[in-house]
Structure 1
Amino acid sequence: MANTFINRHGYLLIQLLVLLGLLLLLCQPLAWDIELPVQFWVKQGVVFALWVGLFYLNTNLLVPRLLFQNRVGGFAAAALGSVLFVMLASKLTDEWLNLPALMHQAFNPGETARSHKGGMYVNPVMMLATLLVLGISTSIKTVQKWQLDTEIRQSLERQKISSELSFLKAQINPHFFFNTLHSIYALTMINIESSREALHTLSRMMRYVLYETQSGTTLLSKEIEFLEDYINLMKLRLTEKVTVIFEKPQPVQDVLVAPMLFLPFVENAFKHGVSALLPSRIHIAIQQQGQAVELDVCNTVLPEKRVVMEESSGIGLANTNRRLDLLYPGQYTLAVTEKTPDNEYCVHLKLNLS
């Protein structure tokens, strides 16, 4: 709205400056050291009215109805006809006011005024000024339409991105909620007390999802707390064969970040890096240097599970990649190593939040 306000008033100012320039051009004879007849100023007033009429006729009718509708031939014919009409009206005004004779007398005071009607003389200054009015009005309207089209295109793009982000979040949240409930359900069959603790943790997490993520950004400290709750929840159902390490910056320098951006990477590690029979390890580390935040998630590659980023977590990881592209274009790097020398699948995300 602010840009629209500035543009609207900016174009109004340009129009006023153009009209003022035309008025100054017509008033230039004031510098002549002669006494001009009243009819001359009447003629100047008529010419000014013709130019103003041509300016707004071209701006509001010819350009939008013909040029912008790809009717270039019709626009050229209408523009030429308008210029000829202005020149003809100016010529008829001269003859009606007998202006050539009066101007001759003004420049030659000793001679008697004679009629100078007739003739096909074309004033080149008048012609150039009329073409200039036509060109300026066409340029102003063209630039105005280009800027309006740009604003509409940007608005549609913002709406598209907003709708897409809402859709992606709507997919991520139920996906996470379903997996977590499944884990708690399995836990109730093993340890009732732990399942109660898990439900309390889940309720705190869902409050975060419902109330802290609606604005589109959240504090990094809250996002880390949410991630820590998720990790603790997952650890409740793990056996002693699984080692989980979580490192976080101390202290956290709060910056705004998209909510639930890190969760799919961590969720992916718990989905593919945990075994009930074989020793496995999950290492999650968040580092921060000013506005730069780095996330490292590594999990053991298990022989019975094939971990491929595009196929692994389905909705979660695919949507997270899309969210990164939409929210932080050119501000992040994402590196995936499918198998390190330590037999681990690792994801490294570096995010510039400045």
Structure 2
Amino acid sequence: MSGFSFQRFLTPLIHVLAWGLLALALLLFQPMQGRVELPVQYWVKQGALLIFWMGAFYVTARVSVPRLLLRGRTGWFVLALAATVAIILLLGRFLESTLHLSELMHQAFHAAEQAERRAGPGGLPPRPARGSRFDLVGLLITLLVLGIGTAITVVQHWQQEARLRERLDQERTEAELSLLKAQINPHFFFNTLNNIYSLTLIDGERARAALHRLSRMMRYVLYDTASGHAQLSQEVAFIQDYITLMQLRLTDRVQVTFTHPEPVREVLIAPMILLPFVENAFKHGVAATAPSRIYIGLRQPTPQQLEIEVRNTLFPMVGTDLAGSNGIGLTNTQRRLDLLYPGRYTLRVTPKTADNEFEIHLKLLVSGA
């Protein structure tokens, strides 16, 4: 809460400090030669100019830039700036004329010059009347104030747009990830429940053990992955449980191999990001009448680098495509990889290897635990 309050008052504080520095500069910007007693009218004009510059700054920043420049009306914006400069210069001349400042300044310099001459040799050079020349300093300060007001407003507008785009991208990413995860999880549980249902017709005790294992997996999905990240060891155990459940209904003609580091080096990984590759192998690499094999290898060359290789036997009558049987699993997994690990993964798919296998090879760079 204190941080929020500080940010709330930071911008007004910066404005106060900036105008205070400008006011100090106006106080210091005066004839410093000799002992010139400037008339009160000089400070009245300087104070009025400071107010004019403040007004020009905020009119430019709050009105001209948002309503003209940022809406593509560049010509009108330039005219507005020119009119503002002209108005401030005319007001400055009007104040000089109304306050008789030229005559008063001339008298002040003349009095100082006489005092210097009486005090000793040398003295102040003749000072021309201020009304006899163009106010170049006032013009430069006016242009500087308007330029700063324009630059600050444009930069703030760009920053706001960038933050808005970032927030929208984040919300879109979170929504897509939630949708993708919601699609993948029911897809997996639907297949697993079908497997357990088939097992209940054969062996009730093994079916109860399988339900217990499935409940453990559901607890992992529903609670342990709520933060959006999981430990690699949890994901490995989840895959192992999945393989065990799938093997309950497989015959000895199916050879399943799962290798992984022992022990794994803990890193954070997106939950169930590897499961669709394994699920795809069981879905398309198993036949009822022919020998088949599935290989799942997880390697960890470095603590932050993961590699998973999945191979399954190809069968002429079984379609082996990335989308799975209903277009949910691997297609969305690739989308999740794009969202979660942009530029940090490589996925190679080989539809048919020399050993008549379908192969998926994923390299993934993850963060530490």
TM-score with structure 2 setting the length: 0.88
Q: Which residue of 1 aligns with 2:209?
A: 197
Q: State the 1:228 CA deviation.
A: 0.5
Q: Which residue of 2 aligns with 1:166?
A: 178
SS in 1 for 2:30: helix
Report the more deviating stretch, 258-267 or 284-293.
284-293
- The amino acid across from 1:90 in the alignment is G
Question: Equivalences for 1:251-262 in 2 at 5 Å?
Answer: 251-262=263-274
Assess, with a 3 A threshold, how the Cα gap between structure 1 residues 141 and 25 changes in structure 2: closer, same or farther: same
Assess, with a 3 A threshold, how the Cα gap between structure 1 residues 301 and 186 changes in structure 2: closer, same or farther: same
Aligned match for 2:329, one of 283, 296, 316 = 316
Q: Which residue of 2 aligns with 1:44?
A: 46
Aligned residues: 349
8 Å contact kept, 1:264–1:313 = no
Report the more deviating stretch, 303-312 or 335-344.
303-312
**Partners of 1:6 and 1:80 in 2: CA distance:** 37
Aligned match for 1:209, one of 218, 221, 229 = 221
Assess, with a 3 A threshold, how the Cα gap between structure 1 residues 329 and 147 changes in structure 2: closer, same or farther: same
TM-score with structure 1 setting the length: 0.92
Q: Which residue of 1 aligns with 2:141?
A: 129
Report the more deviating stretch, 78-87 or 329-338.
78-87
**Partners of 1:97 and 1:140 in 2: CA distance:** 35
Assess, with a 3 A threshold, how the Cα gap between structure 1 residues 39 and 299 changes in structure 2: closer, same or farther: same
1:187-224, CA deviations, whole angstroms, 9 ceiling, x for partnerless residues? Answer: 22222222111111111111111111221111111111
SS in 2 for 1:334: strand
Q: Structure 1: which 5+ runs fail to align? A: none
Assess, with a 3 A threshold, how the Cα gap between structure 1 residues 331 and 213 changes in structure 2: closer, same or farther: same
Assess, with a 3 A threshold, how the Cα gap between structure 1 residues 207 and 149 changes in structure 2: closer, same or farther: same
- Whether 2:251 is the aligned partner of 1:249: answer no
- The amino acid across from 1:22 in the alignment is L
Assess, with a 3 A threshold, how the Cα gap between structure 1 residues 5 and 151 changes in structure 2: closer, same or farther: farther
**Partners of 1:197 and 1:107 in 2: CA distance:** 105
Question: Equivalences for 1:51-70 in 2 at 5 Å?
Answer: 51-70=53-72
Q: Moved runs in structure 1, 4+ residues, more than 6 A?
A: 1-10
8 Å contact kept, 2:231–2:268 = yes
**Partners of 1:4 and 1:305 in 2: CA distance:** 60
**Partners of 1:270 and 1:3 in 2: CA distance:** 53
1:125-175, CA deviations, whole angstroms, 9 ceiling, x for partnerless residues? Answer: 111211111111011111011101100110010000000100101110111
8 Å contact kept, 1:59–1:138 = yes
Assess, with a 3 A threshold, how the Cα gap between structure 1 residues 270 and 314 changes in structure 2: closer, same or farther: same
8 Å contact kept, 1:255–1:291 = yes
8 Å contact kept, 2:285–2:293 = yes
- The amino acid across from 1:26 in the alignment is L
**Partners of 1:333 and 1:12 in 2: CA distance:** 49
**Partners of 2:92 and 2:215 in 1: CA distance:** 83
- Whether 2:268 is the aligned partner of 1:268: answer no
SS in 2 for 1:216: coil
Report the more deviating stretch, 224-233 or 5-14.
5-14
Report the more deviating stretch, 18-27 or 90-99.
18-27
1:288-328, CA deviations, whole angstroms, 9 ceiling, x for partnerless residues? Answer: 12111111111111222131224556201000000000000
8 Å contact kept, 1:299–1:345 = yes
Report the more deviating stretch, 93-102 or 22-31.
22-31
- The amino acid across from 2:255 in the alignment is T
